[in-house]
């Protein structure tokens, strides 16, 4: 098995955005997408008063990150969970709220670099693509979804212009031989995507592999549940910081942050009554991107969009009884 590598995206900027919330005794960060622990390691190293709860659905990631971060002792806690389970994770740890929550969305470097996981299209490997160890694989999707279902996945998650054409070809191909490895799928994509389109927009398999990964792991639905849970879980002065790499992910983040920072006071009211101010404020202006030097050093940073919000006042108890802030 290949040994994964990891270059954290926008590392210094992420730590800078988290610092105001974590530079105090007993502060707690939840890293919802631990991966190999690059961002967490930087927080533990640079912010000596903080401890980190690292969540990942991938047992292999938890094992490797745990080895990497062992030197930090009880300042680091690893939790096997999906990141929309934030409320349950905090309840299990006896925490009413935390000081910061971080998401680095999408596929991790570890998953891309380990051939056996089937995330990469550059070499032949089993069509798995699961971030965890349970549930249907990418091969299951290709071999069982109807042509309209496959078209939806490729169009919505991969923004693939030839989604219908590819879906039809997949259904015809699997009648004679089911899909098991990535090489057969890549071969089909080269055949179905017209040559002029193959010459632009990167590797012709990129969009289809992305779409399958997002479908297999139910990524958008998980994110849609996780964002309000994260906002609800931070105390006053706490921050939620999100790195996304796909327009649909970034749109969900933008919508959640806009809703959380919007005033409910009518626009024509000449003043905002005390107590009616939004509970959160935007920290970043729009989305921030990686500069040319970082993209050159780490091509995976090319599509990153970084957003952050901060809680500025407490809110009332939620329906579950958890207070968002004290």
- For the annotated binding site for S-adenosyl-L-methionine, the residues are 37-39, 56, 83, 104, 111
Binding-site positions read 37-39, 56, 83, 104, 111
Q: Name the token pair of 114.
A: 């380990």
Per residue, what are the HEC states of the chain? CCCCCCCCCCHHHHHHHHHHHHCCCCEEEEECCCCCCHHHHHHHHHCCCEEEEEEECCHHHHHHHHHHCHHHHHHEEEEECCHHHHHHHHHHCCCCCEEEEEEECCCCHHHHHCHHHCCCCCCCCECCCCCCCCCCCHHHHHHHCCHHHHHHHHHHHHCCCCHHHHHHHHHHHHHHCCCCEHHHHHHHHHHHCCHHHHCCCCCCCHHHHHHHHHHHCCHHHHHHHHHHHHHHHEEEEEEEEEEECCHHHHHHHHHHHHHHHCCCCCCCCCCCCCCCCCCEEECCCCCECCCHHHHHHCHHHCCCEEEEEEECCCCCCCCCCCCCCC
Residue 311 φ/ψ, nearest 5 degrees: -80, 130
**Two tokens, residue 258:** 């806009």
């Amino acid at each position: 098995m290949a040994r994964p590598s990891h270059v954290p995206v926008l590392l210094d900027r992420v730590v800078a955005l988290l610092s105001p919330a974590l530079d105090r005794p007993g502060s707690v960060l939840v890293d919802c997408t631990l991966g190999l622990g690059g961002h967490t390691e930087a927080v533990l190293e640079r912010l000596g008063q903080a401890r980190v709860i690292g969540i990942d659905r991938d047992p292999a990631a938890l094992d490797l990150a745990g080895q990497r971060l062992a030197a930090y002792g009880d300042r680091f806690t690893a939790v096997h969970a999906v990141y929309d389970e934030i409320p349950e994770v905090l309840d299990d740890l006896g925490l009413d709220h935390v000081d910061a929550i971080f998401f680095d969305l999408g596929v991790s470097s570890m998953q891309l670099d380990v051939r056996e996981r089937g995330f990469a299209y550059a070499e032949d490997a089993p069509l798995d693509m699961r971030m965890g160890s349970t549930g249907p694989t990418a091969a299951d999707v290709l071999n069982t979804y109807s042509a309209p279902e496959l078209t939806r996945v490729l169009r919505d998650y991969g923004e693939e212009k030839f989604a219908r054409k590819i879906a039809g070809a997949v259904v015809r191909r699997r009648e004679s031989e089911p899909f098991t490895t990535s090489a057969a799928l890549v071969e089909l994509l080269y055949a179905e995507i017209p040559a002029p389109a193959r010459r632009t927009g990167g590797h012709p398999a990129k969009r289809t592999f992305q779409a399958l990964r997002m479908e297999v792991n139910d990524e958008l639905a998980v994110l849609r549940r996780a964002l309000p849970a994260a906002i609800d879980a931070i105390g006053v002065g706490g921050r939620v910081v999100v790195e996304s790499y796909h327009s649909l992910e970034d749109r969900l983040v933008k919508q959640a942050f806009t809703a959380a920072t919007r005033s409910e006071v009518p626009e024509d009211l000449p003043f905002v009554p005390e107590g009616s101010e939004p509970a959160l404020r935007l920290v970043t202006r729009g989305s921030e991107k990686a500069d040319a030097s970082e993209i050159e050093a780490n091509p995976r940073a090319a599509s990153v969009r970084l957003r952050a919000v901060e809680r500025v006042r407490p809110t009332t108890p939620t329906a579950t009884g958890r207070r968002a802030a004290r």
